[in-house]
Amino acid sequence: MPIKYVLPPEWEWPITIALFLAGLAAGTYSVMGLIHFAGDKRDEPVLYRLGFIPMPIMIVVPLLLIYDLGQQGRFLNLLIKSPGAPERGGPLMFNANSPMNWGSWAMVIFAGFAALAFADSLHQSGRIRLGWLVPIAHSKILLAIGEFFAMVVSGYSGVLIAVTNQGVWSDTWLMGGLFICFSELSGMAVAAIVCDRMGAVHTAAAVRRALFTFAAISAVFLVLFLGGLATQQDGSLAALIASLHELVGVAFWVGAVGLALLVPLVMLAPRPIVRVPNGSLALIGVLVLVGVLAFRYAMFFSAISFVQS
Amino acid sequence: MSDLRGMFVDTSICTGCKACQVACKEWNEMAPGVPLPMEDEAAVREHRAFTGNSYDNTSHLSATNWRHVKFIEQIGPDPSSSDRSDPRWLMMSDSCKHCVQAGCLEVCPTGALYRTEFGSVDIHQDVCIGCRYCVGACPFGVIAFNKRTGRVNKCILCQDRLEIGMGTACAKACPTSSLVFGTVSELQSMASDRVKLLHSRGQTDAYIYGWDLGNSGKITAGPNKGTAVKDVEVVGGLNVFYLLLDKPEVYGLPAHASLPQRNFVPSAGVALISAAVLGVTGLAAFRRRRMDENATAGTEATNAN
C-alpha cells in the first residue's frame, strides 16, 4: 500500500472544529436559500432567526485557524502575499492549484454574505432600521451567488483532503461530495432546532422532510465512498477499517453513521419506523449536529491515525 | 535545462557511514534532534533511545533530519525462515527528491515552497505559515512539520552553497561517491553508464528510480530474488534520483508515486454534483409541502361541497 510512505499532516482539533463550524454556517445559509427560493411567508420567522447564525460562526472560524497556525499574520498570508513571497504578481495570494487557497477566499466572500444575512435579520427583527438593505439582501441573484459560495465552503475541506497523498483521503473522488452532504445535513439540523424552539410547525414540516432526504443522500454517498475504497486494489478500505479504532472508530460508527444518519432516517421516515414524541425535532437536530462533528473528526483522523499506527 | 542541478544516489556503493547525515546537520546547523519513535521520553531526552531497526538511529526524515540513511537487512531468501545463508544489507541515503512536478509546491497556499533557478524546491521560511498541507501532499513523506518553529522543513539542496558555486554538503562528505552532485543531464548519463557497468559485471538487479533511462534487470538476491525490475520515472522525473538493487518498496519508496492534484478536478466535480442534488431535493422538500397543502385544501373543499 503506497499510503505508508507519506507523513501525517498533524492537523489537530482546532482544524476539525473550525471546518465543522464553517460547514455548519454554510449549511445554515444554504437552508436559508432554500426557504428564500421555495418557502412562503409563514417560513419568514424561521428564516430571519436562521440569519443570525452564520456570521458569528464565521468570526469564530478564523480565530480557530489563527490559534492553530500560532500567529495572526500567518492566517492573513493565505489571502495577502507575504512580503517575502518569491513570486510577486499582485498583493493578493491565490494559487489556483491549492484547494486551501480556494477555500480561504470562499470563506472570506461567504462571510460577506453571512454578514448581509445577519444585517437583514437585525432589520427584520426591528432592532436596527436598515430598510435600504432589504432589496440587496433579498436579491435572487445575490442569494444564488451566496448559495454558491456556501456550497464551496461546505465542500472545500473534503476536496482539500482529497488533494493530498494520504491514504483513504486521496483514494476517492467522493470526499468533497461527502463533506457537502454532511454540512448541509448540519444546516438542516440547525433549522430543525430553530423550528422546534419557535414552534414553527409549518416550516418544521418541510425541514423534517429535507432532513430525512439529506440523511438518505448522505447515506448513499457514504456507502459509495466505502464501496469505492473496497474496489481499490491497494487495500484502501482495509486501511480505513484499520484506522477506525479507539475514538476514531466510535466517532465514525456511533457518531457519523448512528447519530448523523440513522437517527434522522429512522425517526423522520415518511412512514415512521418508531413513534416520535412531539417536540423531539430539536433533539434529533442536536443528535445530528453531534454526528456531523463526529464525522468530521473521524474523516480527519482516519488517515492520520492509519499513518501513525 | 542544462542548469538543473540534482544528485545521483548510487545505493550499490553506499556503506551506511552516515557522513552525509552528519554533513547535512552540520552545514544546516540543525538541532541534534531525537531518535524516533519517542515512546521513552526519558531516553529521548538523554539521546539514548533505540529505533530497533538495525543501525538506524533517526528512523526517518524529519524536520531536523533532512537526510536519512536507511538500513535494510535482508537475512536469507525468506525472512521468516531460519536460513541465514544468503544475507544482504541494502543501504540508501534518502532526502527530498526535488521532483520535477512537485506536489508540495503545487498545493502550497502561500508560495513559501518555490522552484529555484537550479530546479530544486526550496522553502522560504519567512513565508511558510505552518499549515502542513505540503506534509500530506508529498508522496514520499519528506516534508515534516517543525513544532519548535511552527513551520515545515526539508532538504533544500544546499541552496546557499549552490548560489556560490559549491555542491551539496552531503555529496562533498560522501567517502564512496554514492552521492554525486551535478547537472541532471550529466547525472543521468552517469547513472545509465553505471547501470550498464553493473549489469556487465553480473549485478543485473541495478536500475534507476526517478527517470526511465531504458534499463531493466532481475533481482539477484533477497526475498524478491528473480523479480523483474526496470527504470521507473516518478512524478515527471526526480532531480535527486537513485540506483536501486531491489523493488522500490524495499527502500521505502512508492512504486507509483503520484501528484495530489490528480484528484482536484474530479473531486470538485463530484462535490458540485452533490451540491446540485442536495439543492434540488431541498427545494423539492419545501415545494412538496405546498403541494401537500394544496391537495389537503382541495380535499377539504370537495368534502365541503
How is chain A split into domains, by residue range? 2-308
Chain B residues 55-84 within an 8 A CB cutoff of chain A = none
Average pLDDT over residues A96-123: 95
Q: Using an 8 Å CB-CB cutoff, list chain A residues near B283.
A: 34, 37-38
Whether the per-residue pLDDT at A88 is higher than 70: the answer is no
pLDDT tier at A3, thresholds 50, 70, 90? very low
Q: Which of A9, A85, A209 sits opposite B132 (nearest CB)?
A: A9
pLDDT tier at A276, thresholds 50, 70, 90? confident
Q: Is A53 on the interface with B (CB under 8 A)?
A: no
Q: For A29-80, write each residue's pLDDT tens digit.
A: 999 999 999 999 999 999 999 999 999 999 999 999 999 988 877 888 899 9
pLDDT tier at A168, thresholds 50, 70, 90? confident
Task: Return the CATH fold of B5-258.
Answer: Alpha-Beta Plaits (3.30.70)
A93:B110 CB<8 A:
yes
> Could you read off the pLDDT tens digit of each residue along chain B, which spans 305 residues?
457 999 999 999 999 999 999 999 999 998 776 544 555 555 555 555 566 777 887 878 888 899 999 999 888 767 677 777 778 889 999 999 999 999 999 999 999 999 999 999 999 999 999 999 999 999 999 999 998 889 999 999 999 999 999 999 999 999 999 999 999 999 999 999 999 999 999 999 999 999 999 999 899 888 888 899 999 999 899 999 999 999 999 999 998 888 999 999 999 999 999 999 999 999 999 988 777 777 777 776 676 66
Q: Which of B107, B270, B271 sits opposite A98 (nearest CB)?
A: B107
* Nearest residue on chain A to B250, alpha-carbon basis: A5
Residues A34 and A187 sit within 8 Å (Cβ to Cβ):
no
Sorted by sequence, the CB contacts under 8 Å of residue B5 that are 6+ apart come out as B118, B119, B120, B157, B162, B181, B182, B183, B184, B239
CA–CA dist B261, A120 (Å, integer): 40
Task: Return the CATH fold of A2-308.
Answer: Formate dehydrogenase/DMSO reductase fold (1.20.1630)
Q: Is A87 on the interface with B (CB under 8 A)?
A: yes
Q: Which of B109, B112, B124 sits opposite A100 (nearest CB)?
A: B109
Query: Count of CB contacts below 8 A, A vs B?
Result: 223
> And the C-alpha cell for A193?
432546532
- Of residues B115, B93, B141, B123, the one with CA closest to residue B5: B115
Chain A residues 145-184 within an 8 A CB cutoff of chain B = 147, 151, 154-155, 158-166, 169-170, 173-181, 184
Residues B142 and B155 sit within 8 Å (Cβ to Cβ):
yes
* Nearest residue on chain B to A205, alpha-carbon basis: B289
Give residue A275's identity as a one-letter amino acid code: R
Q: Which of A8, A38, A181 sits opposite B274 (nearest CB)?
A: A181
Q: Is B252 on the interface with A (CB under 8 A)?
A: yes
Residue with cell 525462515: B81
Q: Give the gap in angstroms from C-alpha B77 to the nearest C-alpha of chain A.
A: 22
Residues B134 and B110 sit within 8 Å (Cβ to Cβ):
no
Enumerate the β-bridge partners of residue B244: B207
CA–CA dist A12, A73 (Å, integer): 20
Q: For A197-244, write each residue's pLDDT tens digit.
A: 999 999 999 999 999 999 999 999 999 999 888 887 677 777 777 777
Q: Is B270 on the interface with A (CB under 8 A)?
A: yes
